[in-house]
Amino acid sequence: MNEEILTQLNPPQREAVETTEGPLLVLAGAGSGKTRVLTYRIANLIENRGVAPWNILAITFTNKAAKEMAERVEALVGSAVNDMWVRTFHSACVRILRRNIELLGYSSNFNIIDADDQKALVKECLRELRLSDEEFPVKVVLNEISGAKDKLLSPADYVKEYGEEYRLSQIGRIYALYQRKLRNANDLDFDDLIMLTVRLFEDNPEVLDFYRKKFLYILVDEYQDTNRAQNKLILQLAGEHGNICVVGDDDQSIYRFRGADVTNILEFERHFPEVKTIRLEQNYRSTQNILDAANSVIKNNSGRKGKNLWTDAGSGAPIEVYRANNDFDEGDYVVNTISSLVDEGYKYGDIALLFRARSSSKVIEDIFMRAAVPYRVLSGLRFYDRKEIRDMVAYLRLVKNPDDDISLRRVINVPSRKIGKVTMDTITSVASREGVSLYKAIEDHVGEFKGGVADFYGIMQRLRALVGTTPIDELLSAVYRESGYEAFLEKDDKAAERMENVGELISGARHYIETVEEPDFDDYMDNLVLVSDVDNYDEELDAVTMMTMHAAKGLEFPVVFICGFDEGVFPGMQSIYGGPDEIQEERRLCYVALTRAKKRLYLTGSHSRMTFGKTSSYRPSRFLSEIPEELMETTDAREEQRLRRERLREQLPDSVRKPKPVAPGLTVTAGEGFAPKGDLTLKAGDTVRHAKFGEGVIISAEPVGNDVHYKISFSGVGEKNLLGLYAKLTKIN
């Protein structure tokens, strides 16, 4: 590296690169070039300060980030990168443990078990301790064990701290047995890699001294995402020489649910009082309007280090805010806007849709499918690929066609009915011998299959009796309830999210009923198959990206839509009732989401949303009120409709605008589910809503026998002639 290369850095970046001795805290705002600072700092140490590559340790969180950093360092210093450690926390600890773990009583040829192995091991522990996995769900137990290890709590420490509460004391027993089994098998899980390295250093000062002398310069990326164990590890290694550079952004600490502790970066100077702090505030990603919005939101958090992002790229386009009538209207707006953006020259791959929770994407996914908009889901499954949705759809398929063996195998023991492999083998044998489906074999021999099989058959018979007489959404609700799936999900550690997904499926069925003239079960199921089987897009294809805000961290897009910008959706109800810390975490998440956008930013919300087949009202997110109005252009669908109605009325003849009353005593009852309880008298000049044609103004209302003939002007489709008893009109106040 030479002086000419250093001139490519802005002044704060260069200061961070050239400050090589002592503790350094680099507060790197979104898009401010933190990776460049880290790589140039490493190159400066090697090329200009004569530091040996093997005396440098660079730590980050993902293999992808570590690979990218190594490649950029190699471009600056060549093969010297091969002699330094550019690693994730876990890979660095594996390397240390392979050399020293025998000091802890393990063999150096230990295995690292994955998540599925962990689940199997916990199940084995539950069986041995005679504890129910319904009372102690495996995922919940593993989350507790992982959290304990993140806090460096051994099983004995965990019991000592939480043992007075029965449930946690039992988890402590499971944790103790789980660790014994790992130890006996010479296995480690991922959390052990950090925890045991910390313990190794605590119990063996000579080992710690070796690595302190080896790693004379330590650099840590994304420091705001470290947990207690990771922070302790870094402090151990840097404790003597203090040549540690941590780079991060307290405003982007969004992984509290994974154990990340933002106080690690906020209190860094407590461990190193002589620390030098440098702020990287020049942004190379977004327009100033986007940055001003992000700055305005995040400044409402307390206890932060503080910084103000700026750019010399110009103000850019205003942030566009759309308040939809409902979530389906919101989806239509997104699709129509994307179409306009593509016409302007943007590619689908330039566009990202961000959601607080993946379940919120279901409506827009449906609309994208109908509009043939290519999309992919990053860091997650498509809505229809989720296990709970596939299970519910499998139940529906079996209700529709009991000879569907694939669907039966999927759901016969979901939720668990204690139908084991031996029983399933017997059913399969009978079906094969008699040449019938599995369901038919059960039906013909139900007296021989008792317990869970008989229970399952009874449930399916009751559900099948509803077909043809029950609306699809109510049938779905019955499947959810009668199958036991609802009670099953309530015991899951992700109950809220998974139940919300099922609620979205039911809402979609209700929407289908309301928007199709002749709803049909077969047609609905065919549509589900089409939606489920499409979307096999390669990541290289030109497609809109859908993801959660958490998954978007570290990414950037020319165009970003943040959908569901409503109070109760973002921030969510759990955060609202969770207290100030939860809201501050949500605000940081908002800051991250806003700063993913480079050129265009859209914030969409809705006056009402359908959840579990019921419509609820929403007001704008509190975060919207924290953005200055001059940065935004806001469109409110309800206000636009009101103005359209006024313009439409102005175009009507005086005889319609000032109509004679409808014939005395004539009362028209709106269809069930489309109007408030009681009768409505509709007359010329009234504004009404029709399920298919939308909003319109009544031009005339003429009695016809026991009904009324309406002539209605609809804003989108022109004039229509309708009979009141069949039109199912809703009067709009």
Q: Where are the beta strands (DSSP E) in 61-117?
A: 85-88, 111-112
Classified as helix, coil or strand, 244 is: strand
Nearest CA to 399 out of 483, 478, 461, 486 is that of 461
Among 19, 20, 35, 428, the active-site one is 35
570 alpha-carbon distance from chain centroid: 11
* Token couple for 728: 């199912």
* Cα 265 to Cα 277: distance, rounded to the nearest angstrom: 11
Nearest-10 Cα torsion for 278, 279, 284, 289:
-170
- φ, ψ dihedrals at 243, nearest 5°: -85, 75
Say whether 209 is catalytic. no
Q: Is 30 exposed, middle or buried (0-12, 13-18, 19+ CB in 10 A)?
A: buried
Q: How many CB atoms lie within 10 A of CB 653?
A: 9
CA pair distance 37, 30, nearest whole angstrom: 13
Annotated catalytic residue: which of 252, 337, 584, 641?
Answer: 252
Helix, strand or coil for residue 355?
strand
- Is 252 a known active-site residue? yes
- Which residue in 304, 376, 596, 689 is the catalytic one? 596
230 is catalytic: no
Q: How far is 347 from 600, CA to CA, in rounded Å?
A: 13
For 448, other C-beta atoms within 10 Å of its C-beta total 12
Of 144, 150, 189, 222, which is the active-site residue? 222
Contacts of 204 (CB under 8 A, 6+ apart): 100, 103
263 an active-site residue?
no
Could you say which of 150, 191, 221, 250 is catalytic?
Answer: 221
Residue 337 dihedral angles phi and psi, to the nearest 5°: -65, -40
In the three-class reduction of DSSP (H, G, I as helix; E, B as strand; rest coil), residue 249 is classed as coil
Please enumerate in sequence order all residues whose Cβ is within 8 A of that of 274, keeping only pairs 6 or more positions apart, or say none: 22, 23, 242
As a whole number of angstroms, the distance between CA 634 and CA 629 comes to 9
Catalytic residue among 13, 34, 261, 365: 34
268: exposed, middle or buried (Cβ count in 10 Å: 0-12, 13-18, 19+): buried
Do 154 and 234 contact (CB within 8 A), yes or no? no
34 in catalytic set: yes
Q: CA-to-CA distance for 9 and 3, rounded, in angstroms? A: 11
222 annotated active-site:
yes
Contact 168, 92 (CB under 8 A): no
Asked if 254 and 224 touch (Cβ cutoff 8 Å), the reply is no
CA–CA gap between residue 211 and residue 240 (Å, rounded): 11
Pairing of strands 707-714, 694-704: antiparallel
Output the six-digit token pair for 410.
Answer: 């999927």
Just list the catalytic residues: 34-35, 221-222, 252, 596
